Structure formats: structure tokens, C-alpha cells
Amino acid sequence: MKDQEAIEMMQRCISEIETQRMIVSRLTPNAEAYEVIRDIVRMSPKQSQDYGEDLVWRLRKKIEELQPKPEVTDAKAE
């Protein structure tokens, strides 16, 4: 897989992940309300929420690594 193809694929992944994060942020209040009601009805202990690594950050970092670097010209040579 060529670097440009990998960059494009990673950018599509970032877009999809960010879309899913927006959906989750809109649904979170509903989920929290559901959990409160469930806890009141069942009086069950609440489980803690785990967080995974930030995949978007890793993809952006990899894109930066794969992007072609601008050529540095020597100002003294001119």
C-alpha cells in the first residue's frame, strides 16, 4: 500500500470515528437517564466506564509521519 493511499484510508477512518463520536455524544444523555432509571428500579450497583486509546490521535500522528516532507533549501548556496 502506497503512503498516499494509506493517508486517504486513515483520513476516512478519522471522519467515521468523529461521526460516531458525535452520535455517541448526542445519545449519552439518553443512556445516562436510562441507567439512572434502571438503577432506581433495580437498585443495582453501577459499573465504571473504561476508556481505550485515542485512535484518532494515533491516525493523525501516522498521517503526519507519512506526509512528504518539504524540501529544505540551503540559503548559503544561493
pLDDT recorded at residue 38: 83
**75 within a domain of the structure (yes/no):** no
Domain that holds residue 19: 1-44
Residue 59: inside a domain, yes or no?
Answer: no
Using a pLDDT cut of 90, give the percent of the chain over it. 37
Specify the number of domains making up the chain: 1
Q: If we measure between CA atoms, which residue out of 52, 54, 53, 62 comes closest to residue 10? A: 62
What pLDDT is stored for residue 44 in this prediction?
Answer: 57
Answer with the residue of higher pLDDT: 74 or 44. 74
40 inside domain: yes
The answer to whether residue 43 scores a pLDDT higher than 90 is: no
pLDDT in tens, 57-77: 889 999 999 988 888 776 665
